[in-house]
Amino acid sequence: MIETEVPRKNKASFEKLIKVIRQRNYKKATEYTYLRYNLDFLLFANKPAEKVVTKDIEKYIDHLRKKKVSSSTIQINISSLKMFFEEVLDMNIFEDFRRPAREYKTPKVLSQKDISILLDFASESNRSHLLCALAYFGGLRVGEIIRLKWGQFDLTKRTIKVDSPIPTQNRIVLMDAELQKVLKKFEKEVGTEKSAFLFPGKYAGTHLTSRNVERLVGDLAKAAGIKAQVTLFTLRHSRAIHQLAEGKSLEDIRDFLGHKSLATTESYLPIRKNLRPQVRQKHIQDALKEIKRKYKY
């Protein structure tokens, strides 16, 4: 729960927010985020929530920008405030509010040489090897990897039924030969009970946390002598770029990564945003040519 005391003038409205959030059965982390960001805003505005106006929201967003808060965090702040004022308090203060455009940073890409070095180094542990292989060869997100159970694999059809934390991103992933090889080595070591997590946590019925997994992969990369900061997303993104270099289409990459929109896949490319459609298409084609030049075997 929130450690900071809620101002007396906002206790009633904040209790309403807590009640709505509890009714929706959000995850603890999501619940904390919504409460924390709304309380931070109320402390900044220093007035009863019912008297907040659009100008107060704009001042707060400027305040966050000056503190160099990331674009994604600002977007989550805005979503949290919209939920509170529109859905809990039934206030229409966002009608004239212009939401700032989300800024996308093109993720880092490892060379195929660095990927080979990392996977070779990770192979000293079957568990570490499989974690990296699922992100690189399978294109899975960290949240999808840590929730994997043995029952999601069909070794006959060579597929993984990926249950994403976001239902619209559920998909079937075809395993290539390299991923199957790594999986079978791990299977021999630990056995395969269909309802069991691939990567069990400390306590019965739990799985490894994303924090633990990311720390493990980051430490592996450092030990392997890779200078770039490496996460499982780095491996997933690197695989997508390597596939583009091999001639796969953006549509194929979209399906491989489980993106709902092609625009999300295009955001992986190092191109300027907010361009006219024709200009944007030229920039995309130029980016693809550069990727083929730089990353093709």
270-296 pLDDT tens trace: 776 667 778 888 888 998 999 999 888
pLDDT per residue as tens digits for the range 32-91: 899 999 999 999 999 999 999 999 999 999 999 999 888 888 989 999 999 999 999 999
Please state which of the ranges 40-54, 71-85, 160-174, 254-268 shows the lowest mean pLDDT. 160-174
Q: How many domains does the chain have?
A: 2
Instruction: State whether 83 and 183 are in the same domain.
Output: no
Is the residue at 3 inside a domain? no
Whether residues 218 and 267 share a domain: the answer is yes
Same domain assignment for residues 83 and 168: no
Domain that holds residue 213: 112-295
Final residue of a structural domain among 56, 88, 120? 88
Tell which residue, 179, 183, 135, 143, has the closest CA to residue 163.
Answer: 143
Concatenating the DSSP letter of every residue in 268-287 gives TSS--SS--HHHHHHHHHHH
Q: Which of 88, 104, 122 is the last residue of a domain?
A: 88
Claim: this prediction has a pTM higher than 0.75: no
**83 with 123, same domain?**
no
Q: Are residues 129 and 263 in the same domain?
A: yes
**Residue 38, domain CATH:** 1.10.150.130
